[in-house]
Structure 1
Amino acid sequence: MGMSSTFIGALVLVILIQAKGQPGFISIDCGAEAGANYTEPSLQINYVSDENFINTGVRGTIASEEINTHAQQQLWRLRSFPEGKTNCYKINITRGSNYLIRTLFLYGNYDGRNMSPQFDLLLGANLWDTVTIQNASITQFNEIIHVPLLDFIQICLVNTGNGTPFITAIELRTLKNDTYVTESGSLERYLRCDLGSNRSYRYWADDYDRFWFTCDIKEVWTQLSASISDDSFFENDYKPGATIMSTAVTPANGNAPLVIGWEPEHETDEFYVYMHFTELQVLTTNQTRQFNITMNGELWFSNFSPQYMSVNTIYSPSGISGKEIKFSLERTENSTLPPIINAIEIYKVKQFNQSDTFQGHGSP
């Protein structure tokens, strides 16, 4: 059965390293000159050099033609690791806090070789992912929600013999501890969709600096939108934000269900799902929007009506799995209006069974 979160409250964030005006943000420009500390104007996010987080590697800059097409300066530099098999960053954090951890990679032909590498990315001693650079001119990222057991984390890059590892930026964002809770394991971003939108967003639109994308889910939907001001909008602890919630989708056929589904790579993969809802219309006395949510044909949440200008988040309290996972939002007999959904987040459970530390090169 899904759970609903409609809590409203102040968010108190405590962290050892704080960016100006952004409590809970750690934003590291990998390869920036020593002492660098600047605000990226397009994001209003403060970045610092990686000099205090690692003592190995070589600073590099992407090709000039790539700089011309990437306006944000935290993407212009990088740190590569031509020596040593494993090189690790060490970043002090608050033990037991809930963090969104993001690593970014833009090759940008920094070495003039036009040879995109492949290498392993570790969180502590645990394999997080294998990074395969698909396009030299496109920024790739990895993102995970993780609760560290120590007062620091290590992010390590491993040379697997397929080119020199590198990293462009590291970003940590503190989340509220009672959000994104799992029975076990960490949450790797699988999909995060701003439904009904025609563009992507991150910080200033989202207080937690989550990346939101438009997502083509291959369903026949009608896009909805409304003007929502931050002052008149009631958030919950997930804080998707007024901008993200100002759009939604509904079935093009008002009598049809609204379906969101996917086929996991492995049937045993576990997922956590977070659906965010806001009613965008002022309903008249003879209008009702009410629907049930089923998962793979079984009732998951019943008789749900989104609240006007207020966030409702329905989420899975435990991991879900299957050969196919399909959610269906189906209007009830009493409803005069079809179902809507504004945004959805899907995460895959990542089990880290090794130590949070790696005895490798690089950590200060």
Structure 2
Amino acid sequence: MEPLWVFVGALLAATAVHVAGFLSIDCGLDAKFNGRRDTYTDIAYVSDDPYVDGGMNHRVAAKFDVSSRSENRRTLRSFPSGIRNCYTLPTESGGKYLVRMEFFYGDYDGKTSPSFEVHLGSNYWDTFRNSDFWWSEAIFVAWGSWVPVCLVNTGGGTPFVSTVELRPLLPSLYPQVTVDESISAFARKNLGADTIYRFPDDPYDRFWEWEVSSLWANLSTKKTIQREDSFAVPIPVLQTAVAPVNNGTVLHVGTWNTYKSTFEFKFFLHFSDIQNTQLRQFDIYLNDYEWYKKYSPPYLTADYVYSTGWYKATEGTYNITLAATNRSMLPPMVNAYEVFNRIPHDTPRTSPKDCYDFDFDFLRNMILNFSFRNISFITQITKF
């Protein structure tokens, strides 16, 4: 299905504040070090013992176990036994959350980095594919007072994980996400900068990775930018942007290739014009299709353009290009972008609050008390 581009006027900025309810799990961390604070973010990390059964604690190989590396990437938990091993994360039914898992192999077992799947409840989320370091992020609406995130052994080696992080989101963020439709971050880029932003610059602790290209000219400003509420892009991210080099008329934003032909994508482009001297107007193309015509980013005000439908290219390659119109006096520009793929749900979710004759939390506690968190049965219960 071909998506339609939607343009939404920017809303009044919200003050960036720390959002309560962060859960940051340092997998493999000895419980006696609970509350250890991250050097860079000052976020407190806890041991994973209360959230998972089974598995083995490890430290990365000595050559990677150095003080210059973040502490939560120096320990990990592996799962040599069982097909499915799950972390049980506390949530509020109906609440919106970001969950992120980080994986740093660090040659902990002296073998080859494995491949395995990651599931959100009973639904496929992503695949770890023989990488040294990788992270995956999902946004979902909780369907109960706890949500399992699971590592699934697919025969490619022993699954492992370094950190599991849960961040509550405001209901207004990512309005496309519902209890029956979750999304996985395929890419999130901060353009025109050389810094990765996360908390505290982003109060929701999203990763905004920087990206550069010899085809881009970097733009920046120190002026205040008015933020909007649907995506709440951090102000430092909006204070940089890219345009074509040499005042070109076409800006190639990016090309993405998917490793799964079944993936469906949504694209989110974030704008705030930081030059207000002349008209800037351009058309937006996705894989050579004209998706939005004559767009002009507002001056020092956050805005966005996104695809409402899910898009699946037959050949598995995706391109986004911005082309200046004949009226435009300035080249096209963009500040940041996000690409999400869909997490299909096997069955419609039902909030446990709607199951008047079924004590969901009682069953959950019974299962945890009997240490059944690491078997596949638990993920089937989340379908009630």
Query: Shorter-chain TM-score category?
Result: 0.7 to 0.9
Aligned partner of residue 63 in structure 2, secondary structure: helix
Aligned partner of residue 248 in structure 1, secondary structure: strand
Contact 2:116 2:152 in 1 (8 A): yes
Query: Which residue pairs with 1:17 in the alignment?
Result: none
Query: Which residue pairs with 1:188 in the alignment?
Result: 184
Query: Which residue pairs with 1:305 in the alignment?
Result: 296
State the AA in 2 paired with 1:188.
S
Contact 1:125 1:355 in 2 (8 A): no
> In angstroms, what is the RMSD of aligned CA positions?
2.9
State the AA in 1 paired with 2:73.
L
Show the 5 A alignment for 1:126-145.
Answer: 126-135=123-132, 139-145=133-139
Whole-Å Cα distance in 1 between the matches of residues 112 and 286 of structure 2?
44
1:264–1:72 CA distance, 2 compared to 1 (3 A): closer
For structure 2, the residue ranges without an aligned partner over 5 or more in a row are 350-363, 379-384
Query: Which residue pairs with 2:252 in the alignment?
Result: 259
Are 2:219 and 1:224 equivalent residues in the alignment? Answer: yes
State the AA in 2 paired with 1:97.
G
Query: Which residue pairs with 1:235 in the alignment?
Result: 227
Whole-Å Cα distance in 1 between the matches of residues 36 and 256 of structure 2?
43
Aligned partner of residue 321 in structure 2, secondary structure: strand
1:272–1:179 CA distance, 2 compared to 1 (3 A): farther
Query: Which residue pairs with 1:80 in the alignment?
Result: 78
Report how far residue 93 of structure 1 moved: 0.7
Contact 1:6 1:236 in 2 (8 A): yes
Aligned partner of residue 173 in structure 1, secondary structure: strand
Contact 1:251 1:258 in 2 (8 A): yes
Show the 5 A alignment for 1:15-164.
Answer: 22-35=19-32, 36-68=34-66, 70-111=68-109, 113-135=110-132, 139-164=133-158
Deviations 1:131-158 (A, max 9, x none): 23323xxx21111222222221111223
1:291–1:38 CA distance, 2 compared to 1 (3 A): same
Whole-Å Cα distance in 2 between the matches of residues 263 and 115 of structure 1?
26
1:94–1:130 CA distance, 2 compared to 1 (3 A): same
1:100–1:299 CA distance, 2 compared to 1 (3 A): same
TM-score with structure 1 setting the length: 0.84
Are 2:173 and 1:179 equivalent residues in the alignment? Answer: yes
State the AA in 2 paired with 1:156.
C
Aligned partner of residue 352 in structure 1, secondary structure: coil
Aligned partner of residue 67 in structure 1, secondary structure: coil
Query: Which residue pairs with 1:211 in the alignment?
Result: 207
State the AA in 1 paired with 2:81.
E
Instruction: Select which of 3, 6, 19 maps to 1:2.
Output: 6
Query: Which residue pairs with 2:305 in the alignment?
Result: 314
Report how far residue 178 of structure 1 moved: 3.4
Report how far residue 49 of structure 1 moved: 1.4
Whole-Å Cα distance in 1 between the matches of residues 16 and 190 of structure 2?
26
Whole-Å Cα distance in 2 between the matches of residues 355 and 39 of structure 1?
39
Report how far residue 235 of structure 1 moved: 1.0
From the two aligned structures, give the one with the greater helix fraction: 2
The runs of 4+ residues in structure 1 deviating greater than 6 Å are: 355-359
TM-score with structure 2 setting the length: 0.80
Deviations 1:2-22 (A, max 9, x none): 232512254899xxxxxxx54
**How many residues matched?**
345
Deviations 1:274-311 (A, max 9, x none): 11111122x24xx2222232444554333332223221
1:98–1:22 CA distance, 2 compared to 1 (3 A): closer
For structure 1, the residue ranges without an aligned partner over 5 or more in a row are 14-20
Aligned partner of residue 274 in structure 1, secondary structure: strand
